[in-house]
A and B are shown apart, each in its own frame.
Chain A
């Protein structure tokens, strides 16, 4: 499972319960855990917890507001959501002034640009690491070894998320090597790769057109510590490294090398594997990045493809092209349309209409922002409008139009369902049997595609 604020809140409190349990009678321990689940769902705040736990719970609520509700809300409601989320984050900091997640989430909205946010994160990364390491020592006290490992991991997660955000921001800033270095640093710090930074890494490798590097990193998609246990119980054919980010990176490399046979094969595979993939490739929606962490999505789902494609915008829109899509984005949309099954004709037509509307909207905004008049500079000022894409990019950033076609609401509902499932279905034995996260990988369905 990738980072999930609510699941983490649950784990923190359960760990707190384990720390506070005085009995060693197995029956009493079992009853305590059984009651814990009920209590967590009914009255979470009544459970034993520290100010740090309370602070974390507030950022989990803020993350839900910003990541799940804000992108799909009307303008008037959006302002209320923003104010509410900021209130929660401020409260979180008043309870725990060193809450790195809260600081990071506030900075995401306050820093004036991608680079400013990146530099802000960069300047504080070492301090966050130190704070997290200090908390490892404090929180793990008195716990048996497996639970101590979980406590350590939970304490370090804000730092892992910090690095993951830095890697992602570096990529958006066009600093592909920096992004790649940060990904490797994050994977070294957290071999479980809870932040799935390897997804960011493959996009950076595609940007650097490093086919060999992409081949090397592929093994991290097959053999990660998180997958190891899952792979033992999976049939051989399901131990695939298939992943939307990796597939898109490979597809981009094939396109860049003008290996159209390979590119079409790869695209065909994606069209077969992901539901409504052709329509997704035509729409090419950009979603806001998850403010807490990358939005958790079900592998092989339409949502996985939508999130991956949104992150791959840096590949889709790159190059000189008259329009919102870059040359690769245009090729992807057109080839998907050609390869789509006849029964998809209706949804393809709808997706195309939506893409055209979006193009018109963005072009109009770009014209307004950049000024379409040719500058009176007296020399050679003819032809294509270089600023179109600049304007489009800026506009996309605050677009918030992802819900115009109902597509994103599918993403929202699925992702929310996944979150609630994670909390309610979390096996109490995870903790009662003293199994930390590290020895308790996600369900096979969740990690094996």
Chain B
């Protein structure tokens, strides 16, 4: 989440609405002014609340980076709990300014580190509770019919709730519902800044729905990434089309930097707060996220990893890549 950029865009759009729709160049001028001194433009409790969320997330990220340096596991998990608790409290402060701040509500919910089933329940409830409020908030509903919902910065919080819900549904093995949630999100915001397509590819692989998988791939212009390449390997392996699965594995290995190392040596990734971190395309970091998200369906195909490892040069190339890039094999 580019929270600072979003704060600036929100402030500029709200001021623009107050001023009565500036010209394009006028708006750009306003945007520059907001970027230079954002605090000078915070005069609405809703933006004040969002600004507090931005501060809370900055603090959370800094703490997370510091926690990564902790050696002992127990101390690490204690620090993690402390960090989440602080985020929860900070979101509470934001909600004191605006009780309907979608991002504060979402981050507070995720900071509770709930069991996945409870997370789904609460996200569904949150989405339901905000529906009425969204209808009454002119800047939330400003997106024109047929326009990409992501174009309206005031809808981002709601869309993030939907994306978090789709991932939580996936995590509770409710693949049909996760697919539905992803499709809704893709229909509302085809630009898909929140990566609903990634979850969707994994869902379709798990449901072994090759037709829908290919249709989605075509719809997205066959723009492959860590999720779609990995999902294709899983799909074909599940369909017992092993020669095709092997080719897909080699494509994944070839196109995704360190992808096989990420797959064979998965690392621990924390719950996304509030959404999936941004990563360079086809990078090792992207692959670690894809592998983390795919974990429940990889575990569901218990011999997939040993099959992948047994393919010629797969393990040796991954080991070589790891050694070249300073990772332990």
Using a CB–CB distance below 8 Å, which chain A residues touch chain B? 113-116, 170, 172-178, 208-209, 256-258, 314-315, 318-322, 326-328, 330-331, 372-387, 389-390, 393
Establish whether residues B240 and A383, one from each chain, have CB atoms under 8 Å apart when the complex forms.
Answer: no
Are A327 and B116 closer than 8 Å at their CB atoms?
A: yes
Q: How far is the CB of B16 from chain A (nearest CB, A)?
A: 37
Bin chain B's interface residue count: 35 or more
Partner among B116, B177, B292 whose Cβ is within 8 Å of the Cβ of A257: B177
- Smallest CB-CB separation from A373: which chain B residue? B73
Q: Report A-chain residues with C-beta under 8 Å of the C-beta of B268.
A: 374-375, 381-386
B267 within 8 A of A: yes
Chain B positions within 8 Å of A116 at CB level:
303
> Does chain A have a CB within 8 A of B314?
no
- Which segment, of B31-39, B43-51, B183-191, B293-301, faces chain A? B293-301
A374 and B73 contact, CB distance less than 8 A: yes
Which residues of B are in contact with A by a Cβ distance under 8 Å? 64, 67-68, 73, 76, 80, 115-117, 120, 124, 171-177, 207-208, 238-240, 265-271, 277, 285, 288, 292, 295-297, 299-304, 306-307, 326-328
Min Cβ gap B306→A in Å is 6
Q: Which residues of A contact B73 (CB under 8 A)?
A: 372-374
In the complex, chain A residues whose CB is within 8 Å of the CB of B238: 174-178
List A contacts of B301 (CB < 8 A).
173-175
Tell me the minimal C-beta distance from A180 to chain B in angstroms. 10
Instruction: Enumerate 27 A-B pairs (CB-CB under 8 Å) in ascending A order.
Output: A115-B306, A116-B303, A173-B301, A173-B302, A174-B297, A174-B302, A175-B208, A177-B208, A178-B240, A209-B176, A256-B175, A257-B174, A258-B174, A318-B296, A319-B173, A320-B172, A320-B295, A321-B115, A327-B173, A374-B73, A377-B327, A379-B285, A380-B270, A380-B285, A383-B80, A384-B270, A385-B268
* Bound: A433/B236 CA distance, A: 52
Q: Given the complex, which residues of A lie within 8 Å of B117, measured CB to CB? A: 321, 327, 330-331
What does DSSP make chain A's interface, helix, strand, loop or mixed? loop
A175 touches B239 (CB 8 A): yes
A376 touches B176 (CB 8 A): no
Q: B67 near A382 (CB under 8 angstroms)? A: yes
Whether B115 pairs with A322 at a CB distance below 8 angstroms is yes
Min C-beta distance of A142 to chain B, whole Å: 42
Contact A386 B266 (CB under 8 A): yes
Given contacts A113-B303, A382-B67, A393-B302, whether A318 and B269 have CB atoms under 8 Å apart is: no
Docked Cα-Cα span, A319 to B239, in Å, equals: 20
Query: In the docked arrangement, what's the CA distance between A374 and B327, Å?
Result: 13
Instruction: With both chains docked as a complex, state the minimum distance between the C-beta of B258 and any C-beta of chain A, in angstroms.
Output: 10
**Of B68, B124, B285, B300, which contacts A382 at CB under 8 A?**
B68
Known contacts: A320-B171, A373-B73, A386-B295. The answer to whether A257 contacts B176 by CB under 8 A is: yes
Q: How far is the CA of A194 from the CA of B102 in the complex (A)?
A: 57
Partner of A380, one of B76, B172, B267, B328: B267
CB of A327 within 8 A of CB of B171, answer yes
Known: A113-B306, A173-B303, A174-B238. Is A382-B175 also a contact (CB below 8 A)?
no
Distance to closest chain B CB from A193 (angstroms): 23
Contact (A386, B292) CB under 8 Å given A258-B177, A319-B171: yes
Q: Are A380 and B207 in contact (CB under 8 A)?
A: no
Look across to chain B and name the residue whose beta carbon is closest to the beta carbon of A260.
B121
Cα distance, A140 to B124, chains bound together (Å): 63
Q: A177-B239, A379-B285, A382-B268 are in contact. List 16 more A-B contacts (CB 8 A).
A: A114-B303, A172-B302, A173-B302, A175-B301, A177-B208, A178-B240, A208-B207, A258-B174, A318-B296, A374-B268, A375-B268, A377-B265, A379-B267, A380-B285, A386-B268, A393-B302
Residues in A whose Cβ lies below 8 Å from that of B303 = 113-116, 173
State the CA gap A116–B303 with chains docked (Å).
Answer: 9
**Alpha-carbon gap, A170 to B303, bound state (A):** 11
Find out whether the CB atom of A174 lies under 8 angstroms from the CB atom of B295: no
Q: How far is it, in angstroms, between the C-alpha of A170 and the C-alpha of B76 when the chains are bound?
A: 40
Closest B-chain residue to A379, C-beta based?
Answer: B285
Chain B residues with CB under 8 Å of A321's CB are 115-117, 171
Give the CA-CA distance A319 to B167 in the complex, in Å: 11
The CA of A375 and the CA of B262, in the complex, are separated in Å by 12
Contact B173 A256 (CB under 8 A): yes
- Determine if A328 and B302 form an interchain contact, defined as CB atoms under 8 angstroms apart: no
Q: Is the CB of A380 within 8 A of B277?
A: yes
Do B270 and A209 touch across chains, with their CB atoms under 8 A apart? no
